[in-house]
Amino acid sequence: MPFRRVLLAATLLAAPWAAGAQPVEGLYLGAGAGLNIVPESGDGGVRLVTRDVGAAAVLSLGWGFGNGWRAEIEGNYRTDELDRISLNGQQIGGSGYYDKYGVMANLLFDFDLSSFGLSPRSYQPYIGFGGGYVWNEIRNARLSIGGSNYRIDDTDAQFAYQAIVGSAFGLGRLMPGLSLTAEYRFLGTLDPKFSINRSSGPAVPGVPGSFEPTNHNHSVLLGLRYSFNPPPAPAATQAPAPAAAPSPARTYLVFFDWDRADLTDRAKQIIADAAGAARRVQTTRIEVAGHADRSGTVQYNQRLSQRRAEAVANELVRQGIQREEITVTAFGETKPLVPTADGVREMQNRRVEIVLR
């Protein structure tokens, strides 16, 4: 079956679960299993052909940095049954297994498609590459050449490299932090060297003592990934408790450019007005609350709203307000002034509210 069809089928099978995928930040654990295919390979006159499909499995432990990048350590195993071994075009064997197992270090990047209306909490494609060490083993290969018997039972470790293309689909309805993954992996190594040993009969001229086949693997995997630090669900809006005699409050709004936390001249003027009013009316408490629109990930917007609130608080201090009089909070994208769909940029939601009480 062509690789494109296998990967498309895996994607369609995963689609019904695509709800609540979690952007990766902090420690995570992943595992996958699936199919492995090895193209025909050889060295000189000796050629190896495996059966149509073998098996592959990976287990990884990684860390997400919260900005799309991830790093992980992976253990892997692949096994394929030998279909035939030939020498100078003549079949000399058809038994045995070609196994690979090793350790890789991978660097991956998750794409945030929220600007296209696809939330990373529901679907997130990624790419990656890695390097490491893989042990290549041919076992139980029995050969018959000119009335004599030979065998290949040998292992050789070589530097390995791989490329990864995958997608994560959320299983947040089952468990926060859990995602289903569908991947294509290309794994290659430097050419391993295997010994060909005579087990019985006279030596046959022209049989080499060893050979070095190329080693390329194409794998299609389905798996699960669990993040131990999933982002918190948006805070539910709670109605404030009624007060017997609510004190009058004055609110000032400071707006920001997209993906920015620095203050414009207009923003500094509004903060100066708020500081002057606070001194005139003898304010007892100044609340500074940061907000963001929904064009980024939940975690990134939370940090961005915090930076915006801190920038406004620092400017209030520069205007003569005591720092202990200021309460700073950050709501991220959870309290929009204008409700929007996920991934939409909205200027009025990129704001800090200054409330004088």
What SS3 class is residue 311?
helix
Question: pLDDT digits over 202-214, tens only?
Answer: 999 989 999 999 9
Question: 181, 209, 211, 185: which is closest to 197 by C-alpha?
Answer: 209
What SS3 class is residue 118?
coil
Question: pLDDT digits over 52-94, tens only?
Answer: 899 999 999 999 998 889 999 999 999 999 999 999 989 999 8
Residue-wise DSSP of 268-279 = HHHHHHHHHHHH
H or E stretch including 265?
A: helix 265-280
- 299 vs 230: CA distance, rounded Å: 10
What SS3 class is residue 40?
coil
List domains and CATH numbers for the chain: 3-227 (2.40.160.20), 250-356 (3.30.1330.60)
Q: What are phi and psi for residue 10, nearest 5 degrees?
A: -60, -40
Kindly state the average pLDDT of the residues 39-50.
89
> To the nearest whole number, what is the mean pLDDT of the chain?
87
Question: Among 34-43, 62-71, 74-83, 116-125, where is mean pLDDT lowest?
Answer: 116-125
Q: Which amino acid is at 161?
A: Y
Question: Exposed, middle or buried: residue 188 (CB in 10 Å: 0-12, 13-18, 19+)?
Answer: middle
- How does DSSP classify residue 17? G
Kindly state the average pLDDT of the residues 168-180.
87
